[in-house]
Amino acid sequence: MADNDIALMAHLMRRAGFGAQYDEIVERAEKGYEATVEELLNPTDDNHGMDLDLNERSFLEWNHFIRCVPEYIMWRMINSRNQLEEKMVLFWHGILCTADSKTQSYVTSQAELDMLRANGMGNFRELLIEISKDPAMIYFLDNCLSHKDNINENYGRELLELFSMGVGMDGQFNYTEDDVKECARAFTGWTIGNNIPGQPYGRYASQFVYNPSDHDEGMKTFLGETGNFNGEDVIDIIVKQPATARFISRHMYSYFVADEGGVPSWMETPPRDMATIKMLEDVYFNSVYDIKAMLRALFNSDAFKEARFQRIKGPIESIVGTIRLVGDWTTPRPGFEVIFDEMKHMGQEILNPPSVEGWHTGKEWIDGGTLVRRINFTADYVGDLTQPGVQDLVRKLQAEGPVLSPDNLVDGCLRLLGCYELETETREMLIKHAEKTGDLPTGNREFPGQVAQMLQMIVATKEYLYA
Amino acid sequence: MTSTKKDPVLVMLQMTGAYDALNTFVPYGDPHYQDYRDVLRLSAEDVHAVDDYVGFNPGMGPLKELYDQGKVAVMQGIGYPNPIRSHFRSLDIWHTAEPDKMVTDGWLGKAIRDIDPNKENILTAVNFGRGLPRALAAPGVSVASVGDLASYGVLTGIDGEEERMDALDIFGRMYSPMIGSGAVNDYLSQTGLDALKGADILKTAPDMYTSGIEYGGSPFAQWLKNIAQVHTAGFGTRVLYTGVNPGTFDTHANQHITLPKLWGDVTTAIGDFYQDLVEHNANEEVVMVVFTEFGRRVKENGSGTDHGSGGVAFVIGDAVKGGLYGEYPSLEPDKLDEGDLRWNNDFRSTYATLLEDWMGLDSQPILNGNFEKFDFIK
């Protein structure tokens, strides 16, 4: 197996998933790149080791507040064989945002994330209709408070600004304030039933309800078209806009290829790789809004394959990736709360994005506090010789021969971590560090500790902050 | 400005979870209060009375002591326009001083940039707690964020002191901005180096510190002790931030038991902290602010209160002119705002006073507007 094929597969698994152990990378590389892309795009039936209800019954400690939903979502990211499916849940959760700080109903959030999983690689039009009917969303953006005689614009605005078109493109506005109002009018009557207050028993699951008597049946003019529009009609108009193709393509690019600037800057700032964005826009229209077709085109593009280490990992990617690497949490047990807290402290609490704008990504993940937490969390894990993934990594290095030279130790660790690349100067510093002990007899008692320490040094580098 | 010779220091104490203003600073003399609060009612015998109308919650004895010494300004009826009852969004508003739109820069982050524009001191601001509050976040501003001062540092999991020192030495060189290129690389390098240097300095603080004060065991009390350690170490830290863990004050039931207990823990820690500063002759230059994201419903829900608006905050210190500021919101049924106390003083007026009259900064660019100041700084 050529080294570059393995490195490319490591790249694909980091981006289209949460990373993989070395053996899995080699195994997939042998199957082939395009075959792996297809496998990721077409999830198989899989209960990810354990269904939610079994989780709940077996591990009472996971009952975070009402149910163990956040833990379960993390659990699936760690253990699902369908890695891209889970990665797409996180993708859409970061764009079509609701926050439990307001909805306060994990049951409803769970239903939303199941919906995102079911539609995340489907048709974008369907996804927009489903999110408009999603009880958590209707409550989060107050569409349940929008009435035919008294509209609440919150959902109508965010649907345009943050979920589909964006404020503007190429320096031009994509829609007017009137479009926002007309959009909100079209969604009147899209509400929820069973909206029981959160206290004192905890909110019940709500259901989508369409209330025709509260729907504004008047004529509406939206983005230049006029008619007695309902929500679906408005979405039909939205999905055919060039701005929508651009907006979704940029999000995909930023999530899978390389960090784009913040969404508010997109009106004025052109994409960093216009050719790839154009290519995605074309696929969007040619496939009639098929998300899977866009992903396929993206993963098979040279722009994607060449964009190694161009994105700063998000906290959830860091945490889940580290756990998958060392092989922890393959079976449930008490104590997951610590992991859940960790993502909060690193700045990305699942089900609680800071606002409807989602998390600010790229370099904004990193500040003095979150950086120290990320480095220490990762270093503590890769330095833990009781973890099966770390033991396996040590065994693989031992199998390379009775003695390892310092540069073989550094390069071996980098390869087994997922073909990481370091700047020349960084690599030389680490080799120099390893040279203090000279050539390393792999059978020595100290060897595992020396490997562990090298791994800790590598995960502390700036380079390792990237995926 | 003040007569303090030492640089003024601001200590923000965030009481996450939304404490019930009505049973924190209690209008026990108001007949309406007695009507609204059948179960949670506090009477003249219960409260630490300030006058024949209001008094502090029974758990707030240590704060009342400071009040009696003229060191506590009570900011009555504090709030922000268009109150919302989401903990998150509400805290966000307090953090960014921007009630109308979502922004990412914190008001103190901007203040720190003004205090130390050339980034001469990486410890200008230090946060104690889990995660950095948005109040302290601003582009180009590095804030040390410490969970536990005793164990704070980079790569704390490396076995062996010598090995760890070696590793940190390499870490410092690996994060050189000379390695790699581009603006993001510069930012990551700077953040890493600041964290390393900050940790190096901060970890010396506990060794320099001795005190006769025994703090309580709660994280909040321990973080206040850490703040005393950092402040008395003389690192030039000007903004210190901590609070109770999220959700601490987010109680909706049995508040007649929980609220005095919580306030007892919190104000004992604050009293200890103040005494500690006195012991170190480091009290005059410190002003503390105790705040929460919003208040509670006027009417109780049985044994607790649900999310409401209209709150109360406290500004504490030697430099503070003690007393009551703002007006106690009326409890007349027709003066309530959908069953909530009606706020009457914009939280940004308190911020403006702190920024201008205490920290000596221009508040306009930080708060994005001019807000009428109070006269609570000596």
CA distance A376 to chain B (A): 5
Left, alpha or beta for B188 (phi > 0: left; psi -120 to 50: alpha)? Answer: alpha
The residue-averaged pLDDT of A276-280 equals 98
| Percent of chain A as helix, strand, coil, to the nearest 5 | 55, 5, 35
**Residue B142 is nearest to which of A312, A363, A368, comparing CB atoms?**
A368
**The model scores a pTM over 0.90:** no
**Residue A101 is nearest to which of B88, B194, B301, comparing CB atoms?**
B88
What is the model's pLDDT at position A352? 86
What is the model's pLDDT at position B1? 40
Would you call the peptide bond into A200 cis, given omega within 30 degrees of 0 as the criterion?
yes
Determine, for residues B167 and A372 on separate chains, whether the beta-carbon distance falls below 8 Å: no
**A66, pLDDT greater than 60:** no
The answer to whether ipTM exceeds 0.90 is yes
Domain B9-150+213-367 belongs to what architecture? 3-Layer(aba) Sandwich (3.40)
Closest CA to A122 of A112, A110, A130, A132: A130
More confident call, A107 vs A442: A442
Task: Domain ranges for chain A, please list them.
Answer: 82-305, 388-465
Determine, for residues B185 and A462 on separate chains, whether the beta-carbon distance falls below 8 Å: yes
**B4, pLDDT greater than 60:** no
- Under DSSP, the state recorded for A339 is H
* Confidence band, pLDDT 50/70/90 cuts, at residue B174: very high
Q: Where are the alpha helices (DSSP H) in A215-272?
A: 231-239, 242-256
The residue-averaged pLDDT of B306-333 equals 91
Contacts of B142 in chain A (CB under 8 A): 367-368
What is the model's pLDDT at position A353? 87
**B347, pLDDT greater than 90:** yes
Whether the Cβ atoms of residue A21 and residue A327 lie closer than 8 Å to each other: yes
DSSP E strands, chain B: 9-14, 25-26, 48-49, 55-56, 72-79, 125-128, 144-146, 239-243, 286-291, 311-317, 323-325, 345-346
Determine, for residues A367 and B306 on separate chains, whether the beta-carbon distance falls below 8 Å: no
* CATH 3.40.720 domain residues, chain B: 9-150+213-367
**B85, pLDDT greater than 80:** no
Rounded to whole angstroms, what are the CA distances from B284 to A156, B63, B114, B233, B267? 53, 17, 22, 16, 19
Contacts of A370 in chain B (CB under 8 A): 131-132, 145
**A356, pLDDT greater than 90:** no
Determine, for residues A354 and B156 on separate chains, whether the beta-carbon distance falls below 8 Å: no
